[in-house]
Amino acid sequence: MNEKISDTDVEKYGLIKINKHFLIDDLPAEWTIDRDKKVYLRALGKPLPEQQALCFYWHGHLLHLRLRRTGCGIKGGTIFASFCVMSGKTNKKIWLPHRLEWAKNEIVVDLKKALNVYKSKDVQKDNKHLIQFVF
């Protein structure tokens, strides 16, 4: 679910330390979190016109990702945007450290679920929107 990040969670997940690692001063007010699965997704800094840096936490492992916009417009009355999900360290799609290769399929499934919830946080309920993520 999308929710406000509590002070308790800032401390529990070490979000200030993570931001300092990425040279980011301010914390976003919200994130997408699944507490049962121990997974969260949050923006790192302010979005640029063509991309957004993200932090994906999966069972104690932190992954740095980028959403790169690959298209947008209106089709049949529906506003759409498409994004390519890329590793933050390379220009490859979903690069994982060797220690996580065994869990790649599960990570991608959890990331897709998180992105589908994340995308809805800024969408007005009365408009039709289609947001697509390419892996």
Average pLDDT in the 115-132 region?
59
Higher pLDDT, 24 or 129: 24
pLDDT in tens, 4-63: 999 999 999 999 888 888 777 777 788 999 999 999 999 887 777 778 888 899 999 998
pTM above 0.95, yes or no: no
Which H or E run includes 75?
A: strand 61-75
Residue the block writes with tokens 């009365």: 126
Read off φ and ψ for residue 10, nearest 5 degrees.
-55, -45
Compute the average pLDDT of residues 63-79.
Answer: 79
Task: Please give the mean pLDDT across all residues of the chain.
Answer: 80
User: Has residue 123 got a pLDDT over 50?
Assistant: no
Tell me how far apart the terminal alpha carbons of the chain are, to the nearest angstrom: 22
pLDDT of 75: 75
